[in-house]
Structures are given as C-alpha cells and as structure tokens.
C-alpha cells in the first residue's frame, strides 16, 4: 500500500464525518445497544450542534475540553465537535479514580469537563462529586462541569492539520501520567492507514469496545472505522458474554482487541469450545504482547487469522501491523505501516545487526507533537531527525518484520545476565493453568535483581495457589535457563489492569518490594 498523501487529508477530524455525511447520510455510522443505528447525516448534525454548545459554554480555540466517560455516541460527537472548535479533547476513562481524574484535570487546565452519565454510572458518580449539572446532549443527556476561569487557551496553529486534536494521558512504565499531544493530521493519517490495512468498506461493522479514551480505541478503531464510512458497534466496556452476543447478533466483520480480551473469551467458553459461527473477516490483537498459544487458540475459535501489531500513544498509536493478505504463523508484529520508518539501535544509537535486540526508534507522520507542559521529557524522547525513542526493545527478523522483546526500563539484570520479562511471560502464559502473567524485577543488593512473577490463574486452577506455584516452578525449570526462572511466583485473583486490559506493572513493582 502506498503512503497516504498528507495534503489530501482533511484539516480537521470532523471534516471526515462531513464527507461521509454528504456521500451517504443514511448509512449507519454508529450503533448503540439500546438506541439502534445512527446515520452519518445525523452524526454530522450532532457534531455541529455540540460545537455550538461548546462555544455557548465558553470554550475557545486552544482550550482543553475534558471528557470523563465510556464509549457512547455522545462521546464520539463531543470528540469531533471539540476539534471543530480548535480546542483539544482530553479523553479520560470513567473507571479511573477521583484522584487520577483530578490530577489530569489540573494538569490539562481543562476549560470544561463533560461526563457521559447516561451510559456510565462511574461517569455519573464523578460528575456528581464534582458538582456538574445536567445538560442536553445530542443523544440524551450529560453532566457538564463549571467553567474554569483560570484556563488559558494555547496558541492555535496556522495550519489546522497541525493543530493539536487530542491530549491523551498515559502512565507508560513510570506510573506518572504524561500528556501526549496528537495533531489532527497524525490521527487522520493513522485512521486512514488503519482502514486501508484492514480493507475497510462501508458495509463493514467493527466492534467498538476498546476505550475511546485510549489512543488505540480512538485512532485505530473509532476514527479508522468512521473515516472509511463503515459502522462502529459501540460497547461501553468489555465483557466476554457481551462480545459473544455481538458476534452472534451484530454481524461483526471487524474485531480489534487486546490479548487479555481474547483470553477472557476463551476462559468463558472453556477448553473444549467449538469454533464460533461468525461473520468476521478480520481479527486483530494489539496493546500488549501476543503469545503463540493464545494466537492459535483464538484462530481455532474464530476461524480467521489473528493479526498482530505494535504501537504506543506517542505514535498515534500504530507503528507496525501484520499483512492482511499474508497472515503470519509467528508472533511478529509485522512490518512498519506505510510512511513509517523503524530502527533498532544500541545504547550509542547505532543500528544493530538483524536478529540482535536493541531499542526501537520510530519516525513518521504518526509521531506525537510532544508531551504537554514537559519540554524536558519531550527533548529526551525525541532524537535528531524526528526519531521517537519508544523505550521498547525489539529485534528485526530476516524479512524485516519486527519482534518485540520487552521494555528498556523493564530489563532485569540477574547475576550479570539480561532477563527480558516478556520471554518469561510468554512461557508462563503458554501453561494451561495461567490466564495471564506479569514479570518484574526486585533489587536484592550489589546491583543484582530477582525475577518476580505474578500470575492470574485460570478459574479451574485457582483453588490451590500453593500447588499451582509448585507446578509452575517445575514447568519453568524445564523451559528456561536457571537465571531466568522467578525467585518467587505470586498467584493473584486478578492482575491490576487499565481499562484497555494493559497490565499495570508499576503496581506490581510496588507489590514486589513487599515481603512475599
């Protein structure tokens, strides 16, 4: 696929919806479980209406508009309307704590905060706690917070395509939220490429369960689907029964998720599940590492190849993706998407030989504008020539495909040897008693570290944690070098995770420092 012509992209996210509304106003853009289909014409009218509402509420170009919610049509309309006003959307998942939401509101300096109370009890609770009041929304009601008179608008870029569209907060591996600035052009580029790589056409129906508050759900799923004129079947949050019901009843043709989501479905159905009748032509896993065993099990269940990919918030998010026309039988994340370049380098910034691990750097129109109000971190992350230091470790295969090894900051030094947590996690996750796992290091003196593994057991194996630890210890001893084997294996009822399913390793590192 050829690179996307940047000059041909709309200058605002919303203009992509306007184009679809002119082309086929009655074609379904969104579908909500209790509302039915919303056509592109109605969605565009809703966006224009919300843009007028924002201006009436004192939102100015360069302001930040914060949305606390879960996936719904009102949230979609608010995102596009905010960009239409040259303001920035600050998407926040309602499942965050009050402290986390307050921290993001303060750092972003949001002019107004909207809460999608109709669809999310958590959003309603946050709004009521913050004194927000009911207001008319295009598809029901939402709660709107008081105006922030201390908010100072940021400068508006002369080129609308380079104007920030979204300020997305990510914890990364540090546990401290970072505000990533993504422009209209970056998001539209990723949306356009994502749609083409999936071969999207207007008759497609994609499952919109990944949180739109996260860049994966925003750019690849929501924007990619709507930019192509297809239909997005919205779900406020994931559950295995709801996904199975959607596969049966909604004629889904596109399914994008994270590995933990697919693991939950397999867990729900049990080990002897028969292949599921469905209308899928494309399934994809991203957001965290995909293990060979999970990939094979999902492909047997769904009857289609499970594609893999790699990205991060700072790259809008997509960096690599496997080829729709050439599914892989390994867990490579594929080749860089069109227009994006990838290097694997050593500590000095020199390219490493093929097959050798190194740090991944990325350059292309998908790369962020920078971190909001943090020029020092931006300078440390962006290298000369426009190269983004991802902080991830990878290696290139002989055909140029990328394999993820792990995070630079997660590397464990054990008795002078490098231990990549992903390698240990891959072996653990292949065991039938393990739903998912996470491996962290614990300092034990003299610059040495211990390997600590946290495991979430499959329901049928959770009754006796001690027996499971003994079984896994023996299993790992036969599969890994001694220095890679965990000093401790801890069985938890559930691993701490973000709404996207991403495991929060910062919390596990804190737990590892306590007596085990």
Burial, 490: exposed, middle or buried (Cβ in 10 Å; 0-12, 13-18, 19+)?
Answer: middle
Q: Where in the chain is the domain with CATH 3.40.50.980?
A: 11-186
- The residue behind tokens 């390793």 is 505
- pLDDT tens profile 205-230: 999 999 999 999 999 999 999 999 99
* Helix or strand (DSSP H, E) at 494: none
Domain 238-407 of CATH type 3.40.50.10320: no
Contact 186, 6 (CB under 8 A): no
**Closest C-alpha among 203, 386, 383 to residue 281:** 203
b/e per residue 448-480 (b: at least 16 CB within 10 A) = ebbbbbbbbbbeebbeebeebbeebeebbeeeb
397 Cβ contact partners less than 8 Å away, ≥ 6 residues apart: 332, 354, 355, 403
Q: Where in the chain is the domain with CATH 3.40.50.12780?
A: 238-407
Contact 50, 59 (CB under 8 A): no
Which pLDDT tens digits describe the chain residue by residue (516 residues)?
668 999 889 999 999 999 999 999 999 999 998 888 999 999 999 999 999 999 999 999 999 999 999 999 999 999 999 999 999 999 999 988 898 899 999 999 999 999 999 999 999 999 999 999 999 999 999 999 999 999 999 999 988 889 999 999 986 544 567 999 999 999 999 999 999 999 999 999 999 999 999 999 999 999 999 999 999 999 999 999 999 999 999 999 999 998 889 988 998 998 788 999 999 999 999 987 888 888 999 999 999 999 999 999 999 999 999 999 999 999 899 999 999 999 999 989 999 999 999 999 999 999 999 999 999 999 999 999 999 999 999 999 999 999 998 888 888 888 777 888 988 999 999 999 999 999 999 988 666 889 999 999 988 777 789 999 999 999 999 988 888 999 999 999 999 988 777 888 989 999 988 887
Given 3.40.50.1100, 3.40.50.970, 3.40.640.10, 3.30.300.30, which CATH number is that of 411-512? 3.30.300.30
User: Per the structure block, which two tokens stand in for 267?
Assistant: 């867990």
Residue 291, pLDDT score? 83
User: Per the structure block, which two tokens stand in for 231?
Assistant: 């239909």
Domain 11-186 of CATH type 3.40.50.980: yes
Q: Where in the chain is the domain with CATH 3.30.300.30?
A: 411-512
């Amino acid at each position: 696929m050829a690179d996307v012509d940047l000059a041909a992209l709309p200058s605002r996210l919303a203009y992509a919806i306007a184009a679809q509304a002119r082309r086929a106003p009655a074609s379904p853009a969104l579908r909500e479980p209790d509302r039915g289909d919303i056509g592109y014409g109605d969605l565009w009218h809703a966006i224009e209406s919300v843009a007028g509402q924002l201006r009436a509420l004192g939102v100015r170009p360069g302001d930040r508009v914060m949305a606390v919610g879960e996936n719904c049509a009102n949230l979609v309309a608010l995102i596009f309307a905010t960009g239409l006003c040259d303001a920035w959307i600050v998407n926040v998942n309602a499942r965050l704590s009050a402290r986390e939401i307050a921290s993001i509101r303060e750092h972003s300096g949001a002019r107004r905060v909207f809460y999608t109370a109709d669809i999310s009890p958590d959003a309603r609770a946050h709004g009521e706690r913050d004194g927000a009041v009911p207001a008319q929304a295009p598809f029901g009601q939402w709660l709107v917070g008081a105006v922030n008179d201390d908010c100072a608008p940021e400068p508006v870029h002369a080129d609308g395509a380079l104007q920030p569209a979204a300020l997305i907060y990510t914890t990364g591996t540090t546990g401290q939220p970072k505000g990533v600035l993504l422009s209209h052009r970056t998001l539209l580029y990723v949306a356009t490429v994502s749609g083409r790589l999936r071969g999207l056409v207007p008759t497609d129906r994609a499952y919109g369960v990944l949180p739109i508050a996260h860049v994966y759900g925003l750019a690849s799923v929501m924007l990619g689907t709507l930019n192509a004129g297809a239909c997005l079947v919205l779900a406020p949050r994931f559950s295995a029964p709801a996904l199975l019901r959607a596969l049966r009843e909604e004629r889904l043709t596109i399914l994008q998720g994270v590995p933990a989501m697919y693991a939950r479905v397999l867990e729900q159905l049990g080990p002897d599940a028969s292949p599921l009748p469905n209308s899928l032509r494309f399934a994809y896993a991203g957001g965290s590492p995909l293990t060979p065993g999970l990939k094979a099990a999902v492909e047997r269940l769904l009857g289609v190849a499970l594609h893999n990919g790699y990205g991060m918030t700072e790259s809008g998010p997509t960096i690599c993706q496997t080829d729709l026309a050439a599914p892989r039988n390994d867990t490579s994340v594929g080749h860089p998407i069109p227009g994006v370049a990838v290097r694997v380098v050593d500590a000095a910034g020199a390219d490493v030989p093929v097959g050798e691990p190194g740090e991944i750097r990325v350059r292309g129109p998908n790369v962020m504008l920078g971190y909001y109000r943090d020029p020092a971190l931006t300078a440390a992350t962006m290298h000369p020539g426009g190269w983004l230091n991802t902080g991830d470790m990878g290696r290139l295969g002989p055909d140029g495909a990328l394999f993820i090894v792990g995070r630079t900051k997660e590397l464990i030094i054990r008795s002078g040897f490098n231990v990549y947590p992903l390698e240990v996690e891959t072996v653990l996750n292949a065991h039938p008693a393990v739903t998912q796992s996470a491996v962290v290091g614990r300092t034990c003196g003299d610059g040495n570290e211990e390997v600590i593994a946290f495991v979430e057991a499959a329901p049928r194996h959770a009754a006796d944690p001690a027996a499971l630890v003994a079984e896994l210890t023996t299993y790992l001893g036969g599969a890994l070098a001694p220095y890679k084997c965990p000093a401790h294996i801890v069985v938890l009822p559930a691993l701490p995770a973000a709404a996207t399913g991403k495991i929060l390793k910062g919390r596990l590192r804190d737990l590892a420092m306590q007596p085990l």
